[in-house]
Structures are given as structure tokens and as C-alpha cells.
Chains A and B, each alone.
Chain A
């Protein structure tokens, strides 16, 4: 079992985010991540970058799934 706040903290510690929302039921989580680091990265690379911050929890099975939406600050503000 993990709390959304725990997942949020792990992501925030591992990646500079300008916006971050995490929701989940203890095993399955969804995160919306906005980071300037994503510029020039493919979707796969962006997800790999975020997954890296919770790698230990994914490997141990404590975190079963992390569904991601990733944007750069420019992409995010363009969404209005």
C-alpha cells in the first residue's frame, strides 16, 4: 500500500516538476507530470524518466501501476 502523497514525494524528489498531480487507490496510481526536462524527449523517454523516480517501488511490486501523462510547461499551458 502506498499513499498518493508518498508517490508524489518520490516523483518530486527525483524530478523537477512545475506541476504534479497524483491520484490512486494504494497500488494503481495516475500522475500528471509537467516538467521542463521533458523538452526534446519522446513519450517513452519521458515515462522512463518518471518511472526512474519510483523504480524501487515498481520493482518490489509495492507500486503495481503508474499511469502517466507527461507535458512540458509549454505543452501544458497550450492546453489552456
Chain B
């Protein structure tokens, strides 16, 4: 049986309120953009599922297609693709991200 990676991504982002696909882990990020994205979520004080895409090349390729978004990190809230590092930073600075995360299973 071949793996249905699109379904794996869909299942993960819809069954967890906040999911961050990143390079490395929140403790040991392997890319500056992923480090910033994880740091922003920590500052928002929200629990999130972090997926290290460097450990799974099929997932790395699948999420680019899933969100029609060519780069990592990628943030999903309640199954919706929110954006990458720039968008997260902009939304955090304007207080929009905090608002979006309010009451999300933290």
C-alpha cells in the first residue's frame, strides 16, 4: 500500500488545533525562519504540534502541495493554512495572531 501523504497532512491539521510544520524542532530549529515561527507561537503561550519535516521527505513535499505554499515553516490553525514566517510575524505584530489563537485548545 502506498502512503497517502495528502491525507496524513489533512488528518493531522484537522485533528490538532495548532500545527507548525518546521525544519528541526522548537528546541533545536534548523532554519532561522522556523526558529522565528516557533518563537512567535511560544510567545502567544499556545500549545502546538510541531512537525519536523527534515525527518520525512514525503511530508516535506506534501505540505508544499497541500497549502500551495512553496516554503517552510507553515502554520495551520483549526485546519486552515494561516501562512509562513512573514505572515505570522506581521499578524503577531498587529495582534491578529493572538486573536486567532484565543480559545484555541491552548
Residues of A within 8 A of B (CB): 43-44, 47-48, 51, 55, 58-59, 65-69
Contacts and interface: CB of A to CB of B under 8 A. Distances in A.
A44 B70 CA distance: 12
Nearest to B33: A65
Interface of B: 33, 68-71, 81-87, 90-91
Nearest to A55: B70
A43 B81 contact: no
A44 B69 CA distance: 9
B4 to A, nearest CB: 22
A33 to B, nearest CB: 12
A15 B81 CA distance: 23
A43 B83 contact: yes
Contacts of B82: 44
Contact of B86 (A55, A59, A69): A69
Contacts of A43: 83, 87, 90-91
For the complex of A and B, list the 7 residue pairs with the smallest distance between their C-beta atoms, beginning with the closest. Answer: A58-B70, A43-B87, A44-B83, A67-B86, A51-B70, A68-B86, A48-B68
